[in-house]
Amino acid sequence: MNSLSCNIAIVGGGTAGLALATELKRLGVEGVTVLERAPEAGGVPRHCGHYPFGLREFKRLFKGPDYARKLVKNARVAGVDIRTDTTVTRLHPNARLSLNTPEGDYELQAQRVVLCTGVRESSRAQRFIGGQRPMGVLATGALQSMVFLNQKRPFRRPVILGTELVSFSAIMTCRHMGMRPQAMLEANSRVTVRQIMRPFPALKGVPIRFNAQNIRIIGDKTVKAVEYGDATGQRHRIEADGVIISGQFRPESALLHASHLAVDAGTGGPSIDQYGRASDPSYFCTGNLLRPVETSSWCWHEAVETAGRIVQDLAAPIGGAESIALCAADPAIKFALPQRLVKSEAPGAMKQMQLRLAQPASGYLSAISGGQTLWGDFIESRPERRILAPLSPLLKPTLTAPVEMRFLGR
Amino acid sequence: MPALPDSSEIFDVVIIGAGVVGCAMARRFALDGARVLVLEKAAEVLDGASKANSAILHTGFDAPPGSVEQKCIADGYREYLEIRESLGLPLLKTGAMVLAWDEAQLAQLLVLVAKAHKNGVADVAMLTRAEILVQEPHLSESVKGGFVVPGEYLIDPWASAHAYILQAMANGAELRRNCEVLSGRFDGVWRLNTSQGAVRAKQVINCAGLYGDVIDQRLLGSSDFKIKPRKGQFVVFDKPASKLARAVILPVPTKTTKGVVIFRTIFGNIAVGPTAEEQESRTDASTEAETLKELRRKGIEMLPGLADYEVTTTYAGLRPATEHHDYQISQRAAQNYITVGGIRSTGLSAALGVARHVAGLNARAGFSGKPLKKPVCPAPDRLSNYHPRDWESAGHGGIICHCELVTKREILAALNGPMPPTTLQGLKRRTRVCMGRCQGFYCTGPLATLTQGRLDPAIGEPDE
Ligand SMILES: Cc1cc2nc3c(=O)[nH]c(=O)nc-3n(C[C@H](O)[C@H](O)[C@H](O)COP(=O)(O)OP(=O)(O)OC[C@H]3O[C@@H](n4cnc5c(N)ncnc54)[C@H](O)[C@@H]3O)c2cc1C
Ligand SMILES: Cc1cc2nc3c(=O)[nH]c(=O)nc-3n(C[C@H](O)[C@H](O)[C@H](O)COP(=O)(O)OP(=O)(O)OC[C@H]3O[C@@H](n4cnc5c(N)ncnc54)[C@H](O)[C@@H]3O)c2cc1C
């Protein structure tokens, strides 16, 4: 086994990893290495062959692949060492990693590790979609990778499951190669994306079927049809030759689950403190690994802020051995981030926590510790929309009981 | 069009069906010196009942004493352990526990232990509730009692069958895929009509699994049994959950089923299943959302920690059960014909034993060759999570499937091997691509390019 070392090892060369690395170099940090398992860096945007990327961070509108190239170029120019075809296979305590490359295995010792492994869509199995198991059942990400990176058309008349933003990317991706989506199936009575997007599929000639329950896939070798029940329980059948299982993102947390780091059940990502550190403080985490799901631009900004905290930590350790938990203590709240508040005076902490509701709702959101209400506000939100709440009222050195986030629906 | 195969040759033995039983049969007869031809109607081997099972190497502790099934399981089990190292096949020595969850089940345990001893599985022993919870600390406290079957192990259900047929082929056997047996007639020699032309054989062995009765009807005009497909659905959990149980967790069986089992897989996951659902269709292995949710619930009831892990995949398999309570192995000596039917829920374990049993029925006289002294051993698929994998040695060309760590070298080796996969399913069984937690999110694109022109149907058509 060969040994390597570097100062900051970044796991994942997508938006977050590359933005973070570039910013670290800009701040004068030496020895910044990005470890990317794909043959090219750039992450998910590499195969999002459509707009809009980059508007907030680069003040220009890019398609995903051009945006990814720009991120890689910026990192290279800044002096980031990008290692592709390099898979991180294990996380060890104190910033040590096991790597696998086509040439062999390595152990890498760093001062700090940053996990930026992103998100993916949940699979058919995770949604318990029944029926037969033909080929041609793909996530949007897999479809995009086929179309934009491999110039392959998996089917011609797919049905799209879901009405999230990414489901609309799926329509655009289909259009790119002349595929004609037959319908979008949505389990709820309204689309998941914001209402302004609602006329979009109709404009593109794709009908949306609401309240679609108990979806079954029909077909032995290839997809022949998709069946579903409507609100009255009546079954319907749509002839199709493919299925796009879109959205319902979850963090790509395989490494985490097999590691010593604590995982949060709500986000499915790492449990972090207000500085973005995992339960082992030599590990920072950023980007969509933190939670499903934000835009690339959000991840970019989050990563740039994380870079500042790492520089801070290298200069004068953030410390904070003592911490209290911050938890979503109500089933109405899907997750709250960060999950821990450490007692530290170090500058650069997150100013806001991020929350999501489990169902569309309006009501009173509050933060309570030991029976004392620290903060509260009326909100109206939906699961796919982020809620931001101030962290400063919760950062009192005197607090000892966990901070519980509660929600009282109207 | 490739030329139709030479129909003038008379094979010593024609085996109909390349499920695990047909594969083991081909190996046995090839090693015994027969000129063997295997006919498989599907595009791939292992496309019937052998496609999906629990992958447990059973001792046969609970088989009906004195049955052919019990004898074949015991023999098959023994032979697997004998040959597995030379064939490079993995084994995970988990042992199993049969657990009682209520008083009625508790009362049955001693009867089952006595049965196991009668079947020659002498190391089966009762466990106290406390012992069970020490050995399996993640089990629900509501367990009442049980016994241990130390010899129940986990194997790779596909690599083992592949190894059998590949060893047969390396020693002279022939395999024709996409070749359905349609009809036949015997006049001292068998003449079979297939979808790829005529074939002649001295001896025919029907290993057609879910179509065993259909083949008997086509070739003999009648069948002694009727296949009653029995579906089993499964829910597979993510790999980190596999730390929740060491042993295979078996329930107290009923008359029709071994019941819902919790078992690790040799690929590193942990699964709950199977159900036992009788149905007409011999092909429809559909899963049902409600059944899958119920399986997950049952799994969590026994192993509460499962609730914290995500599901990796779900699948279903079809058992070739019949109206009888034993395997349906019969010989029509006058017609040089053997039926190997109804190898229902234990065929993976019994396959090598079934092949031995059939070789015993068959007078060896008349084989073209002699038993092989030094049979060739093919290179196996090395997919066990508990043994060294390809990605761990240098020069693998890059990892294509990140969840299962499948390398480019492995995929190319399968595509260019002696029995190249012709479908994505076949490639999955040989390499595990797309079988991990992302179910193809990351690897489908690169895989479409790597397999271009090799699979039918293709993963995608090139966009001109
Ligand atoms: C299908 C899809 C479509 C999307 N469409 C849009 C859109 O149109 N607009 C938008 O703004 N946002 C979109 N997003 C959201 C957002 O763009 C991405 O999630 C964004 O790329 C997040 O950046 P990231 O760095 O967190 O993750 P990613 O870009 O996913 O990068 C993670 C990187 O980590 C690597 N990695 C993972 N594990 C390892 C390991 N063990 N070793 C080494 N490397 C590893 C991966 O290969 C990958 O390159 C989309 C997301 C998805 C999944
Ligand atoms: C849910 C489930 C769980 C199980 N768990 C276990 C376990 O843990 N341990 C264990 O030991 N066993 C287990 N089994 C049992 C085992 O899988 C079966 O006993 C075994 O696969 C039967 O194999 P086979 O070769 O007889 O049949 P098949 O696999 O069905 O093979 C028959 C082959 O014949 C071919 N064929 C059919 N008709 C024709 C024709 N006309 N011409 C040419 N070819 C034809 C078919 O295409 C097929 O490939 C399980 C089974 C199921 C379904």
Instruction: Give ipTM to 2 decimals.
Output: 0.95
Burial class (CB in 10 A: 0-12, 13-18, 19+), A368: middle
Hey, what are B39's tokens?
């006919």
Q: Choose which CATH entry (3.10.150.10, 3.50.50.60, 3.30.360.10, 3.40.50.300) describes domain A1-121+248-318.
A: 3.50.50.60
Res A203: pLDDT: 66
Mutate to test the interface with B, among A83, A157, A257, A260 (most CBs of B within 10 A): A257
Mean pLDDT value of segment A357-367: 96
Res B2: pLDDT: 47
The answer to whether the beta carbons of residues B302 and B136 sit under 8 Å apart is no
Is the pLDDT at B357 greater than 60? The verdict is yes
Res A199: pLDDT: 64
Mean pLDDT value of segment A304-314: 97
- Reference A336, options A319, A352, A359, A360; nearest CA is A352
Residues B220 and B314 placed together within one structural domain of the fold: no
The dihedral formed by the CA atoms of B394, B395, B397 and B399, expressed in degrees to the nearest 10: -10
Query: Above pLDDT 70, what percent of chain A?
Result: 98
The finding on whether B38 has its CB within 6 A of some atom of ligand 2 is no
Q: Which of A92-101, A198-207, A381-390, B62-71 has the weakest average pLDDT?
A: A198-207
pLDDT tens across A188-237, in order?
998 888 766 666 666 678 999 999 999 999 999 999 999 999 999 999 99
Residues B140 and B163 placed together within one structural domain of the fold: no
The answer to whether the beta carbons of residues B3 and B150 sit under 8 Å apart is no
Confidence category of residue B356, pLDDT binned at 50, 70, 90: very high
Res A192: pLDDT: 85
Can you tell me the distance from the alpha carbon of B234 to that of B296, in angstroms, rounded to the nearest whole number?
Answer: 9
Res B1: pLDDT: 41
Res A190: pLDDT: 87
| B86: DSSP letter | T
Residues B42 and B119 placed together within one structural domain of the fold: no
Question: Ligand 2 centroid vs B19 CA: distance in angstroms?
Answer: 5
Average pLDDT, chain B: 95
Residues B313 and B414 placed together within one structural domain of the fold: no
pLDDT tens across A2-25, in order?
999 999 999 999 999 999 999 999
Closest Cα in chain B, distance from residue A254 (Å): 8
Residues B126 and B270 placed together within one structural domain of the fold: yes
Is the pLDDT at B396 greater than 80? The verdict is yes
| A157: DSSP letter | S
Q: Residue B429 is part of which domain span?
A: 390-450
- The three-class DSSP label of residue B264 is strand
CA triple B388-B393-B398, angle to 5 deg: 115
Residues B213 and B249 placed together within one structural domain of the fold: no
Confidence category of residue B258, pLDDT binned at 50, 70, 90: confident
Res B211: pLDDT: 98
Cα distances (Å, whole numbers) of residue A335 to A309, A330, A383: 23, 9, 10
Residues B161 and B34 placed together within one structural domain of the fold: yes
Residues B346 and B446 placed together within one structural domain of the fold: no
What is the domain count for chain B? 3
Mean pLDDT value of segment B412-426: 97
The finding on whether A18 has its CB within 6 A of some atom of ligand 1 is no
Mean pLDDT value of segment A311-327: 94
CB contact under 8 A, A252 and B288: no
Res B256: pLDDT: 66
The answer to whether the beta carbons of residues A16 and A303 sit under 8 Å apart is yes
Final residue of a domain: which of B283, B300, B319? B319
Final residue of a domain: which of B319, B336, B357? B319
Is the pLDDT at B255 greater than 80? The verdict is no
Residues B133 and B74 placed together within one structural domain of the fold: no
Which chain A residues are closer than 8 Å to B403 by Cβ?
254
The finding on whether B258 has its CB within 6 A of some atom of ligand 2 is no
Q: Tell me which residue has tokens 């730390």.
A: B243
pLDDT tens across A98-141, in order?
999 999 999 999 999 999 999 999 999 999 999 999 999 999 99
Hey, what are B26's tokens?
């081909």
Residues B376 and B339 placed together within one structural domain of the fold: yes
Give pTM, 2 decimals. 0.96
pLDDT tens across B165-176, in order?
999 999 999 999
CATH code, A130-247: 3.50.50.60
Closest Cα in chain A, distance from residue B365 (Å): 43
Residues B197 and B171 placed together within one structural domain of the fold: yes
Res B208: pLDDT: 98
Helices A296-315, A15-26: crossing angle, 10 deg rounding:
40
Query: Above pLDDT 70, what percent of chain B?
Result: 97
**Is B108 a member of any domain?**
yes
The dihedrals phi and psi of B452, each to the nearest 5 degrees, come to: -55, 130
